[in-house]
């Protein structure tokens, strides 16, 4: 995204879901925020974000998720406001959002929509902001937003999610998402985790070796989510789903983010489809979504 790019009338972007292949919650700051360390991986599953400049103010239309607000309580709307304030451009845009990613499920849909909105607005207005400025705006909106602006579908992130190391994506894996009927409130998950840790409120020190991020076998061995123990205690069904995914052949079975979505990684589409069917039979109240890990980087367009 270079400065001075020609303006367009309309931009449509895919806002991809994400998984956390590793999620460590580190020390809590005096501000109350927790430091994080996570390995992000984007998926082929995506919302559609279409943005056009013009009109009066910011108009947001949402299709496929009637429960989502369309005003300032929506992260996409807030992203548009933040962009126009930072770029000193008139706040005039129409944003159409078609949802496919389940909301509030630990898949980063809202954050990805917000990131795509920032990218689209920047393209439509001649790229007044550098990539680093977009990431700074994204970090203020949420800890997942910078990942979707970093230029790779695979990245290590730490701090509040605003420190990122883009990585070369690995060969794609088939993914089964298992989405329960209930949601997990992120703030509650942080609170319960802090309470479970007591006074120390931080995990032990660790060294991350680069070779452990260069292949699926090592990533599977290291896959962990610090939220799982406290979330599983509140929602035991998720622990049963994780065991079932492993039993049905998943090389990785983990909760994404603070939940409630569980995911399993499989080497073939056939294995994923078979596992998804068995999961639905064993847990009739859940729904499954079959997708794959995404291999996009800014280097390949």
Catalytic residue numbers read: 18, 144
What is the three-class DSSP state of 201? coil
Cis peptide before 260 (omega within 30 of 0): yes
Residues 6+ apart with CB under 8 A from 15: 46, 47, 48, 49, 101, 109, 112, 113, 115, 116, 148
Spatial separation of the C-alpha atoms in residues 289 and 272, rounded to whole Å: 10
48-80 as b/e: b if 16+ CB within 10 A? bbbbbbeeeebbbebeebeebeeeeebbbbbbb
Q: Are 178 and 279 in contact (CB under 8 A)?
A: yes
Q: How many CB atoms lie within 10 A of CB 267?
A: 14
Spatial separation of the C-alpha atoms in residues 53 and 31, rounded to whole Å: 37
Beta-bridge partners for 10:
52
DSSP 130-163: -HHHHHHHHHHH-TTGGGGGSSBSEEEEEETTTE
Token duo for residue 52: 């056009």
Q: Give the residue among 295, 241, 259, 252 at the shortest CA–CA distance from 107.
A: 259
Spatial separation of the C-alpha atoms in residues 281 and 191, rounded to whole Å: 34
* DSSP code for 225: B
């Amino acid at each position: 995204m270079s400065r001075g790019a020609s303006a367009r009338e309309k931009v449509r972007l895919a806002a991809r879901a994400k998984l956390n292949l590793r999620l460590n919650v580190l020390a809590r700051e005096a501000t109350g925020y927790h430091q994080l360390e996570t390995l992000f991986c984007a998926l082929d599953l995506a919302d559609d974000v279409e943005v056009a400049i013009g009109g009066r103010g910011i108009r947001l239309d949402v299709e496929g998720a009637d429960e989502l607000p369309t005003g300032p309580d929506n992260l996409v709307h807030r992203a548009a406001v933040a962009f126009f304030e930072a770029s000193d451009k008139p706040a005039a845009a129409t944003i159409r959002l078609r949802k496919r990613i389940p909301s509030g499920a630990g898949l980063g849909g809202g954050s990805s929509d917000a990131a795509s909105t920032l990218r689209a607005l920047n393209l439509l207005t001649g790229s007044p902001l550098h990539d680093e400025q977009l990431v700074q705006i994204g970090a203020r909106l949420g800890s997942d937003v910078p990942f979707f602006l970093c230029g790779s579908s695979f990245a290590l992130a730490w701090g509040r999610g605003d420190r990122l190391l883009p990585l070369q994506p690995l060969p794609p894996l088939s993914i089964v998402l298992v989405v329960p009927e209930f949601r997990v409130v992120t703030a509650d998950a942080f609170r319960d985790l802090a309470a479970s840790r007591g006074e120390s409120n931080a995990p032990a020190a660790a060294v991350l070796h680069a070779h452990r991020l260069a292949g699926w076998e090592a990533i599977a061995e290291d896959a962990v989510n610090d939220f799982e123990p406290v979330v599983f205690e509140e929602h035991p069904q998720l622990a049963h789903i994780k065991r079932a995914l492993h039993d049905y052949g998943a090389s990785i079975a983990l909760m994404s983010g603070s939940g409630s979505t569980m995911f399993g990684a499989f080497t073939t589409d056939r294995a994923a489809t078979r596992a998804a069917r068995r999961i639905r039979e064993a847990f009739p109240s859940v729904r499954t979504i079959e997708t794959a890990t995404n291999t996009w980087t800014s280097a390949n367009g």
